[in-house]
Structure formats: C-alpha cells, structure tokens
Amino acid sequence: TVGTNIEKYRSYPRIVGETGGKDFVVAHPSADRAILKTALTRGSFEFQGQKCSASSRAYVPASIWNDGFKEEFAAEVDGITMGDVTDLSNFIGAVIDERSFAKNKAAIDRAAADPTCTIIAGGTYDDSVGYFVRPTVIACTDPENEVFKAEYFGPILAVLVYEDEKYDEMLTQMESVSDYALTGSVISGDRAAAAYTMEKLRFAAGNFYINDKSTGAVVGQQPFGGGRASGTNDKAGAPQNLMRWTLTRAIKETLVPPTEYGYPHMG
C-alpha cells in the first residue's frame, strides 16, 4: 500500500513490519520432561494458539518421546478445558471467527488424510455454538511437511521425533524450513548444548528462549520482533526502536574555509 501511494508522501515513510510466525520448541536429549511438556502445552495452546509467537512446531528426541512422553503429553492436551471464557475454569475458548475456524479445520483435515501425519491429541472441531477447535497435536515423520511450514494461527502443534544422535542434523534442517523467524526456544539441561543451539539458530528467531515457552514478551519489558517473513525485526520495546523514528541530521561547520578554487599542487 505504501509503495502504490509513494508519490503522496513528502518524505519516504518509515515502516516497521511485524507479521506472523511458525515458532518452534527444540528439545535437547537432556531436556527436563516436565519443563518440556509445560512449555509445549502453554506455548502452543494458550489463547487458542492465536499468537504470532505461539509454538506451532516441536522437535523432540526419540529417547524422550518413546519413553512415555507421547502418552503423557497427549493426555494433558486432551484434558485441557475449553469453553465459555467467562467460566474461569476453562483454559481456552473459541477461535476468533469463522475464517479462522475454517483455516484450522482444513489444516486438521489435511493432516488426518496425510500418511506421514498422525493426530495423537485433539483433531476435532465444532462450530455449532462458537468456533471451537480442540487443541491438536500432530506427529509427522516428514520434516518438510506443510505442518512445519505454514502458520495456522490456531491450536495446532506439529511434532517431529528425531533420533538423538542426529540433533545437529535436525537443527540444520529446521533452521530455515519455514519462511518465518519470529520466536523459538530450546529446552535443555545441558548449558553447552543450549548455547550451541542458540548460536546455530541465531537467524531463525528474533526472540529466543532457553528452558521456557516461545511466548511471553511484553512491550516495555522484553523487546520483541523477528526477521525473515516475520517482519523487519525492529524490536518494539527496545531503545533502538526509538531511533528508528528519529530524523538524523549531520552538521558540518568549516572554521577555515577556502577562498580559491585551485589546489596548491596546481601552482
């Protein structure tokens, strides 16, 4: 819109863009299971997953996933209370509107029909009274699948289970599988592994969390913003964001100005 109206501006406009995300949680084999489960549940399904920072893809080692975590996590997700938001015993409510409901319904139906995907929790929806989509967890064996790339902006989490010894290979693949680069987190009990992951994924998330969910930034408390398709990464709430809107003027005063045009070597 700015580009098509550029002739109307006296000065070129300054733009800060903040669009969407396909935010991740990476679990290192040293991850604490309880921390991981809570980070996934809260990060993915709080506010019905309707946050640009919501966790919507997770990478979990086989040593954790196959050791009862899959069943524990699925049971927790299926136990999430959902309903009227005026009833404070409910954790989540309906998605925002019919368009959002249709988008999430289509994503669930697509995953249900995909042979590389298995719905392990949720997978149902109901618009008879409000636009309700159950929190849904999809385990997918194809790391290039749409479920790891597309932003659904709803309560849908895609999980890739990786072999523990292929941690670095997994990081390399997931770093740019999605166009977005807004938020992400690593759950790790190994400080060196957490630092390595943070460095490896330095361009994959403008806001990176260690042993926490991928959401929670509050303007004025934690600078927020991402790059790539997620926006201009101008970090709302940070001092450098203020500089984005200032007009910088350079001033030069010459105390001994020349009075002839010629240079000394010309004589």
**pLDDT digits over 60-115, tens only?**
999 999 999 999 999 999 999 999 999 999 999 999 999 999 999 999 999 999 99
- pLDDT confidence of residue 221: 83
Q: Is the pLDDT of residue 11 over 90?
A: no
CB 96 within 8 A of CB 131: yes
- pLDDT confidence of residue 14: 86
CB 138 within 8 A of CB 111: yes
- pLDDT confidence of residue 148: 98
Please, how many CA atoms are within 13 Å of residue 74, restricted to the half-sphere of its CB? 15
- pLDDT confidence of residue 2: 87
Of 18, 76, 146, 175, the active-site residue reads 18
CB 215 within 8 A of CB 53: yes
Q: Is the pLDDT of residue 219 over 90?
A: no
Contacts of 155 (CB under 8 A, 6+ apart): 44, 45, 48, 49, 92, 95, 104, 122, 133, 134, 135, 136
Of 46, 52, 117, 140, the active-site residue reads 52
Q: How many CB atoms lie within 10 A of CB 118?
A: 15
The yes/no answer on whether domain 23-220 falls in CATH 3.40.309.10 is yes
- Give the mean model confidence (pLDDT) for residues 205-228: 92
Q: Is the pLDDT of residue 220 over 80?
A: no
- pLDDT confidence of residue 267: 86
Domain segments of the chain as ranges? 23-220
Dig out the tokens for 38 from the structure.
């809570």
Q: Tell me how far apart the alpha carbons of residues 4 and 16 are, in angstroms, rounded to a whole number.
A: 17
- pLDDT confidence of residue 26: 98
Please, how many CA atoms are within 13 Å of residue 70, restricted to the half-sphere of its CB? 17
Q: What is the CA radius of gyration of the chain?
A: 24
Whether 18 sits among the annotated catalytic residues: the reply is yes
Residue 242 one-letter amino acid: L
- Give the mean model confidence (pLDDT) for residues 244-254: 93
Residue 19 one-letter amino acid: T
- Give the mean model confidence (pLDDT) for residues 148-166: 98
- pLDDT confidence of residue 88: 96
Q: How many CB atoms lie within 10 A of CB 196?
A: 17
CB 183 within 8 A of CB 215: yes
Band of the pLDDT at 128, cuts 50, 70, 90? Answer: very high
- pLDDT confidence of residue 61: 98
Which residue stretches of 126-185 are H helix?
167-174
Partner residues linked to 227 by β-bridges: 181
Partner residues linked to 119 by β-bridges: 138
- Give the mean model confidence (pLDDT) for residues 211-225: 89
Q: Is the pLDDT of residue 21 over 90?
A: yes
- pLDDT confidence of residue 59: 98
- Give the mean model confidence (pLDDT) for residues 115-121: 98
pLDDT averaged over the chain?
A: 96
Q: Tell me how far apart the alpha carbons of residues 111 and 145 are, in angstroms, rounded to a whole number.
A: 10
Beta strands in the chain (DSSP E): 23-27, 55-61, 117-121, 125-126, 132-133, 136-140, 156-162, 180-181, 183-187, 207-210, 227-228
- pLDDT confidence of residue 172: 98
Q: What are 172-198's pLDDT values in tens digits? A: 999 999 999 999 999 999 999 999 999
Band of the pLDDT at 242, cuts 50, 70, 90? Answer: confident
Q: Tell me how far apart the alpha carbons of residues 185 and 188 are, in angstroms, rounded to a whole number.
A: 10
